[in-house]
């Protein structure tokens, strides 16, 4: 019997009560293409391809806001804003090196 591990994977999540984001901070989620697909595309099994998720991100109007959200909130899993975990980590390091 296959294990349903999608429940363990993070997804776009609401902001907890009392920590409301600034106006429009999460408005990109309303029209994000990822919201119209399953989370398994953006949170693939280790070693699986992220190519399809990145292609979808590439045509999404919310890509830049999504990436900034992931960087600001230290999202460590999945594809956010068209970048994988490793790519976001490298970007954070590059940004930190410019300061």
pLDDT (0 to 100) of residue 61: 93
pLDDT (0 to 100) of residue 24: 63
The answer to whether the annotation marks 34 as part of a ligand binding site is: yes
pLDDT (0 to 100) of residue 65: 94
pLDDT (0 to 100) of residue 98: 77
Distance from chain centroid for Cα 52:
14
The answer to whether the annotation marks 96 as part of a ligand binding site is: no
Spatial neighbors of 34 by CB under 8 A, at least 6 apart, are: 12, 41, 42, 53, 56, 57, 60, 66
pLDDT (0 to 100) of residue 99: 64
The answer to whether the annotation marks 69 as part of a ligand binding site is: no
The answer to whether the annotation marks 16 as part of a ligand binding site is: no
Going residue by residue through the chain, which has 99 residues, state the pLDDT in tens, using 9 for 90 and above: 333 344 444 444 443 333 344 546 788 888 899 988 889 999 999 889 999 999 999 999 999 999 999 999 999 999 999 999 999 999 999 988 876
Tell me the pTM.
0.72
Phi, psi of 80 (to 5 degrees): -130, 130
């Amino acid at each position: 019997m296959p294990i349903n591990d999608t429940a363990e994977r993070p997804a776009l999540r609401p902001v907890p009560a009392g920590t409301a984001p600034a106006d429009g901070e999460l408005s990109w989620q309303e029209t994000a293409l990822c919201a119209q697909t399953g989370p398994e595309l953006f949170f693939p099994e280790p070693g699986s391809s992220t190519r399809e998720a990145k292609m979808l991100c590439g045509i999404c109007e919310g890509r830049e806001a999504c990436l900034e959200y992931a960087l600001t909130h230290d999202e460590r899993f999945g594809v956010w804003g068209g970048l994988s975990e490793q790519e976001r980590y490298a970007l954070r390091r590059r940004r930190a090196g410019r300061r």
